[in-house]
């Protein structure tokens, strides 16, 4: 995954525009690569990323990352109407990247390397600026003749990586070879623009704008020290001395403002350390630190120790560690979810449900508490309660594919096969996998249960998806910019 993403982003998927309903009529790049093309390409790539074992779908970490990103978006007028999704890749390297369709990924290594929340925010602010300024569309416009073939080669390499990673890396290097030098200056201009707008986002959102300078300077020092193994972020985001000087010049004259991190920032860094690498190695790492709950600086690491103990199935030890932590700290959503998960895994379903309810009373939108509560209800054979709760969450936010996955599970427990496959189809739709959704809907129709209205609903959905797939196929036949991508998929399927 890491090599694929680095090479994919070096060729130009770093810093790209996101999905937005109406293209900027003043941007000529929209005529070459439309917002619909961006969405489609972004969904294609995200399907592969979500299927990869390095996709870090930890709800606590994803929740925190999205809270930082959404804080920046809230003050970003140029992002109005765009949809963003921030996600995490389990990889120790220091990297982050933006993709078509508004998908912004961050490596776990970068989240741990950031020493404060503002440093993490500075990276997201930079990536958001790549998206809002349509950088990938501009690059495609500049390379309009060669880009479809380049996308075809990149997509084929991305898909082939499932079976032969070395071959895929070689294919991508070949795909990018003819473009990198021609686009180097253009990319540097994009970087300067993203820096300038990123600083503005940091100021408006209340983060420390100087964090961009400190974090990028840190990356530059790492690059000089490690020579051939410079941080991946430097390879995809060229950081010259001139560019760093421009950042520092923009920060001169700004009044000093101390920005305090939210408690969750250090907790999440510790959580990532506890959940990555081998479980026993992570546990030993925390045990060797000789932590003291009376020392405030040690408290995030105490939480990390509890996570590592839970991960290693030392449930009693994890419960004791959490009790010692909670005796000296304020309540926290992360504590509720871990306590409840420990009780759930220990077989105490009533205790887990009680903790989830208590946590949701204080933090109703916290992702891990919602997912955990639904799963605990299903595991306790309280499937109808789970379905009622899911319905409320979908009414609030119907974009989260996890709701539909759990809905499918609850219906399956109730032996409602049509509804189970229909819910799973909706999950695939939210992930952009229309063919998998169609397969599930076909199974739903043949399930043998369901009333007239339910079957009619499934048949209506099938017609909608067929219409969409036929329209996409027609667009490809008429010379859509995604022709190369679909050709690459067919090539990968035959190889």
Residue 200 falls inside a structural domain: yes
10 Å CB burial of residue 244 (0-12, 13-18, 19+) is middle
> By three-state DSSP, how is residue 416 classified?
coil
Residue 494 falls inside a structural domain: no
The pLDDT, as a whole number, for residue 2 is 43
Calculate mean pLDDT across residues 16-32: 39
Q: Are residues 215 and 324 in the same domain?
A: no
Q: Are residues 241 and 281 in the same domain?
A: no
Residue 215 falls inside a structural domain: yes
Least confident of 143-157, 202-216, 452-466, 474-488: 474-488
Q: Are residues 49 and 95 in the same domain?
A: yes
Residue 322 falls inside a structural domain: yes
At residue 17, does pLDDT exceed 50?
no
Q: Residue 434: which of 30, 32, 39 has the closest Cα?
A: 39
**Upper half-sphere CA count for residue 339 (Cβ side, 13 Å):** 22
Assign residue 405 the CATH number of its domain.
1.25.40.10
Counting the structural domains of the chain, the total is: 2
Residue 286 falls inside a structural domain: yes
Domain limits for position 346 = 263-477
The pLDDT, as a whole number, for residue 432 is 85
Q: Are residues 246 and 104 in the same domain?
A: yes
pLDDT band of 477, cuts 50, 70, 90: low
Our separate counts of H helices and E strands in the chain read: 25, 5
- Lookup result for tokens 């030993």: 284
At residue 67, does pLDDT exceed 90?
yes
The pLDDT, as a whole number, for residue 427 is 97
Calculate mean pLDDT across residues 329-334: 96
Q: Are residues 96 and 239 in the same domain?
A: yes
- Look at residues 188, 220, 251 and tell me which one is the last residue of a structural domain: 251
Helix axis angle, 279-287 to 263-275, nearest 10°: 130
Q: Are residues 10 and 138 in the same domain?
A: yes
At residue 144, does pLDDT exceed 70?
no
Calculate mean pLDDT across residues 245-261: 88
Higher-scoring residue by pLDDT: 154, 360: 360
Q: Residue 351: which of 359, 370, 435 has the closest Cα?
A: 359
At residue 32, does pLDDT exceed 50?
yes
Q: Are residues 247 and 292 in the same domain?
A: no
Q: Are residues 6 and 89 in the same domain?
A: yes
At a CB cut-off of 8 Å and minimum separation 6, what does 76 contact? 128, 132, 201, 204
CA-to-CA distance for 52 and 4, rounded, in angstroms? 11
At residue 174, does pLDDT exceed 90?
no
Q: What is the DSSP letter of 9?
A: I
Higher-scoring residue by pLDDT: 492, 265: 265
Residue 485 falls inside a structural domain: no
> By three-state DSSP, how is residue 276 classified?
coil
Q: Are residues 436 and 385 in the same domain?
A: yes
Calculate mean pLDDT across residues 111-129: 96
Among 23-32, 75-84, 264-273, the range of highest mean pLDDT: 264-273
Q: Are residues 229 and 377 in the same domain?
A: no
pTM (global) more than 0.85 = no
Structure tokens at 471: 């329209």
- Look at residues 251, 280, 304 and tell me which one is the last residue of a structural domain: 251
Write down the mean pLDDT value for the chain.
Answer: 82
At residue 164, does pLDDT exceed 80?
no
Calculate mean pLDDT across residues 310-334: 97
Q: Residue 33: which of 119, 134, 171 has the closest Cα?
A: 134
Calculate mean pLDDT across residues 395-406: 95
At residue 108, does pLDDT exceed 50?
yes
Q: Are residues 244 and 275 in the same domain?
A: no
Higher-scoring residue by pLDDT: 441, 36: 441
At residue 315, does pLDDT exceed 90?
yes
Residue 148 falls inside a structural domain: no
Q: Are residues 433 and 460 in the same domain?
A: yes
- Look at residues 196, 224, 251 and tell me which one is the last residue of a structural domain: 251
Residue 168 falls inside a structural domain: no
């Amino acid at each position: 995954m890491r090599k694929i993403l680095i090479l994919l982003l070096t060729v130009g998927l770093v810093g790209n525009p996101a999905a937005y309903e109406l293209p900027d009529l003043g941007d000529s790049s929209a005529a070459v690569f439309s917002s619909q093309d961006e969405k489609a390409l972004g969904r294609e790539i995200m399907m592969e990323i979500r299927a990869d074992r390095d996709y870090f779908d930890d709800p606590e970490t994803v929740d925190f990352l999205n809270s930082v990103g959404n804080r920046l978006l809230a003050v970003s007028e140029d992002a109005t109407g765009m949809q963003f999704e921030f996600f995490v890749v389990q990889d120790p390297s220091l990297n982050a990247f933006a993709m078509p369709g508004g998908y912004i990924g961050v490596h776990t290594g970068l989240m741990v390397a950031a020493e404060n929340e503002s440093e993490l925010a500075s990276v997201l602010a930079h990536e958001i600026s790549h998206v809002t300024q349509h950088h990938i569309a501009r690059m495609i416009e500049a390379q309009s003749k060669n880009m479809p073939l380049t996308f075809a080669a990149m997509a084929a390499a991305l898909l082939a990586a499932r079976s032969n990673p070395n071959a895929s890396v070689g294919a991508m290097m070949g795909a990018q070879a003819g473009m990198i030098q021609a686009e180097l200056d253009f990319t540097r201009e994009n970087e300067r623009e993203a820096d300038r707008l990123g600083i503005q986002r940091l100021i408006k959102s209340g983060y420390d704008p100087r964090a961009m300078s400190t974090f990028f300077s840190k990356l530059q020092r790492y690059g000089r020290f490690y020579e051939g193994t410079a941080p991946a972020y430097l390879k995809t985001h060229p950081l010259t001395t001139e560019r760093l000087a421009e950042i520092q010049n923009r920060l001169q004259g700004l009044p000093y403002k101390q920005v305090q991190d939210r408690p969750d920032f250090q907790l999440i860094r510790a959580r990532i350390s506890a959940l990555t690498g081998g479980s026993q190695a992570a546990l030993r790492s925390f045990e060797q630190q000789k932590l003291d709950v009376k020392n405030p600086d040690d408290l995030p690491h105490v939480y990390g120790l509890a996570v590592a103990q839970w991960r290693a199935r030392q449930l009693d030890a994890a419960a004791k560690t959490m009790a010692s932590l909670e005796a000296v700290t304020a309540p926290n959503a992360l504590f509720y979810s871990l306590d409840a998960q420990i009780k759930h895994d220990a077989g105490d379903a009533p205790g887990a449900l009680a903790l989830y309810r208590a946590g949701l009373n204080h933090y109703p939108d916290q992702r891990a508490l919602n997912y955990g509560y639904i799963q605990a209800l299903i595991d306790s054979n309280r499937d109808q309660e789970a379905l009622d709760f899911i319905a409320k969450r979908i009414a609030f936010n119907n974009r989260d594919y996890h709701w539909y996955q759990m809905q499918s599970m609850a219906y399956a427990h109730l032996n409602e096969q049509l509804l189970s496959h229909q819910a799973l189809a909706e999950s695939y739709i939210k992930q952009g996998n229309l063919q998998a959704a169609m397969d599930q809907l076909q199974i739903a129709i043949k399930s043998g249960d369901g009333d007239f209205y339910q079957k009619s609903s499934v048949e209506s959905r099938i017609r909608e998806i067929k219409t969409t797939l036929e329209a996409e196929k027609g667009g490809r036949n008429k010379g859509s910019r995604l022709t190369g991508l679909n050709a690459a998929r067919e090539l990968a399927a035959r190889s």
